[in-house]
Structure 1
Amino acid sequence: MLGRLAGFILLLLCFYVFYLGSLWDSHMMTLLGIALGVASAVLIVISRMKQNLVLLESYKTQLRELSKKPDDPILMEKAYRAGMEYYKSKRDNRKLLPMDEYAIQRDIASAANRKKA
């Protein structure tokens, strides 16, 4: 979250530097504005990737716990919620698509059947 905020602030600074570059007719300021824009985009992308990795690891942990006790409905619900959170974060916290729902159910079923086999 902090990385996204810093990226947004850098993006605003980029536009201000563009404005100053056009006001002073300076090509170096324009180049600096472009560099700040690229840096802000990279910072936002890296922050988002790190957040998705944390959610994916949480989902995998819940699936591992479910594979140890496949008959526990509480663990099944926790794994389902972790899967929902992960797949929603992949889609910018929009609603789940049917293919995401299917993937979560498939992962939970395979984790539950892993211990039984």
Structure 2
Amino acid sequence: MIYRRKTYIVANSIVDEFNSLFNDVLLPSQLKYGARLIGRWQTTLNEDTSEIFAMWEYDTLEQYDEIESKIKSDVEHVSKVQQRFDAIGRDRLKEALQDIKQEFFITTVDRERTILKTLL
């Protein structure tokens, strides 16, 4: 198994819309193609910004690449994302997303000793 952490530093002024974009548009497509969300969390960094990150589980890096390729070629998904970007305001979104980082991990604890054992 591999794990992916996707982290965003986001202006607080857009957090609700950003979370809605994730829940309404991005998450359904990820799940449709086999991505497994472990969870998604948010913390306020200061009065202007928050950190939001999600942890995902994949069998292999190749599986991650395959899922991402399917999502990017899903015309309906791309259209929904573009419509939501337009609704939020592309310039506003570009300014509000201050940093995006993606990292991959391997576990150091046997999966059977974690809450994840119940997922598969």
TM-score higher than 0.5: no
Q: From the two aligned structures, give the one with the greater strand fraction.
A: 2
Larger radius of gyration: 1
The structure showing larger relative contact order (alpha-carbon pairs under 8 Å, at least 6 residues apart) is 2
- The TM-score normalised by the length of structure 1 is 0.26
- The TM-score normalised by the length of structure 2 is 0.25
